[in-house]
Structure 1
Amino acid sequence: MTHSIVIDMEPDDLLAAHQQELRRGTVVLACLLRLTTPDYGYALLEELDRGGFAVDANTLYPLLRRLEKQGLLTSEWNTDEARPRKFYSTTPDGRALARDLLDDWSRLDDAIRSLKGTS
């Protein structure tokens, strides 16, 4: 017996949900690549947004902390200015992971393009 689940969503909502799911993992890669040059969270948030990665601050900051805990980012407080800022940068392990993820991204892109060509 087969079961089918019908999700009652508007087409725009359905698209948005799938786009969010598709982009979720790419934000990790985007952060690791961007933070090879140290920067603070809010500047990263703005730059990601300009680059097409609409990320909420409530998503980004926990992600940065998780990547730091995993040894992929390091952070350092800069208190030279009136407002102290925590600067993040990609560690050597983070750069290595980013290279591996980029390789995987390339393979996935090739696979998707080949599937698209068969339709």
Structure 2
Amino acid sequence: MTPVPESLFENLRLELRRGCLTLAVLAQLRKEHYGYTLRKTLAERGLAIDESTLYPLLRRLESQGLLVSEWREEDKRNKRFYRLSAEGERMLGMLLAEWNAINTSVENIL
């Protein structure tokens, strides 16, 4: 059997993670977070995410109307806090239903 090239595995792994990260970020932002605490909470739950991935994702989700953010001072520092918008809450519900259906199908296949 020919070994799988590491670069191929890495590309497919990243593709698999991409959608999962979006779902995890939306789910976590049912409660307000700023970037650092969001990143820390996701990592504590087993889903590490680099800053270079997280912040562009947050900006994209906000531009799509799924998140709202505001700058506030906390501990004498300005921090940008994110949370789901009403549209984001609706989208999260739809994505969770889709996730559960896909997960059930894949489990049945495996």
State TM-score, norm by structure 1.
Answer: 0.82
Q: Distance in 2 between matches of 1:83 and 1:18?
A: 39
* Mapped pair 1:42 → 2:36: yes
* Mapped pair 1:70 → 2:61: no
Alignment-mate amino acid for residue 73 of structure 1 = L
Structure 2 runs not aligned, ≥5 long: none
Greater mean deviation of Cα atoms: 14-23 or 33-42: 14-23
Cα-to-partner distance string for 1:41-73 (whole Å, 9 max, x where unaligned): 011111111222221101100110111111100
Offset of residue 18 of structure 1? 2.7
> 5 Å matches for 1:14-93?
14-93=8-87
Alignment-mate amino acid for residue 94 of structure 1 = G
* Mapped pair 1:110 → 2:96: no
* Cα RMSD after superposing both structures: 2.0
Report how many residues are paired: 109
Greater Rg over alpha carbons, structure: 1
Aligned twin of 1:9: 5
Q: Which has the higher strand share?
A: 2
* Mapped pair 1:97 → 2:91: yes
Offset of residue 80 of structure 1? 4.1
What percentage of residue pairs aligned between the two structures are identical?
A: 39
Structure 1 runs not aligned, ≥5 long: 1-5
Cα-to-partner distance string for 1:12-57 (whole Å, 9 max, x where unaligned): x554443322111111111111111111001111111122222110
